Structure 1
Amino acid sequence: MISLRTALLAAFLLGLSYQYATAKSLIPVECCFDYMTGAIQLAKLVDYYWTPSECHLQAVTVAGRKVCADPSKLWLKRAMKVLKAKRK
């Protein structure tokens, strides 16, 4: 028969492994830590997506080259509008 100490240890280890597994899945895969400087020509842009909300710095990531751009910049707002229209 399993002793109480062994059962408690098993339950504790199971709880730890569950916490580790769920915490690991909540970490965003791709976050931006700095914005690029300058602008990208619209002809070179293919697509974009927003970084996950769990990321510290909210940014737009340009697909293909994967650069992080400041969503408050005018050039990016215009580019996103054009790219969004192309998606439809």
Structure 2
Amino acid sequence: MKTLSFTVGLLLLLAASYCTAMPHGVNEIAPVRCCFKFYTGGIRQAEIINIIKTHSSCREKGFVVSTTKGNEICVSLNLKWAQRAFNQQQADEV
């Protein structure tokens, strides 16, 4: 009986440690940011705090624009104003 209790306890301990480790592994593999809908309008340069490209494993490529109002807006890589804002930010970081 003690052996059975010990075995069940050990299995529960292993299962619990596996379950708590699983989300960390999944999160490290998952893309950071992906866009599924894209804003087609413009955003003034003065309103842009940060602009980053979506993760390389995302199905749809784009930019994520962080604004002064606290919004994060997905826009297409093809928008000229977004390309200019991204390039300007890259130049400012150097």
Shorter-normalised TM range: 0.5 to 0.7
TM-score, structure 2 as length reference = 0.62
Match of 2:49, SS?
coil
Q: Runs of 5+ in structure 2 lacking a partner?
A: 1-20
Per the TM alignment, residue 70 of structure 1 is displaced from its structure 2 partner at its CA by: 0.6
- Aligned counterparts, 1:31-50, within 5 A: 31-50=34-53
1:30-78 deviation line (CA, Å, top 9, x unaligned): 2100111201001111221111111111111113421111111111112
> What does residue 60 of structure 1 align with?
63
Could you report, residue by residue, the CA deviation over 1:12-40 in whole angstroms, capped at 9, with x for unpaired residues? xxxxxx88864453222421001112010
Q: Is there any run of 5+ residues in structure 1 with no aligned partner, and where?
A: 1-17
Calculate percent identity across the aligned residue pairs: 25
Matched with 2:30 is 27
Superposed displacement of residue 86, structure 1: 2.2
Q: How many equivalent residue pairs?
A: 88
Query: Aligned letter for 2:43?
Result: I
Q: Does 1:86 align with 2:89?
A: no
Normalising by structure 1, report the TM-score.
0.65
Q: 1:20 to 1:46 in 2, by over 3 A?
A: closer
Q: How far apart, CA to CA, are the structure 2 residues paired with 1:76 and 1:20?
A: 34
CA distance in 2, matches of 1:20, 1:87: 33
C-alpha distance in 2, partners of 1:47/1:61?
8
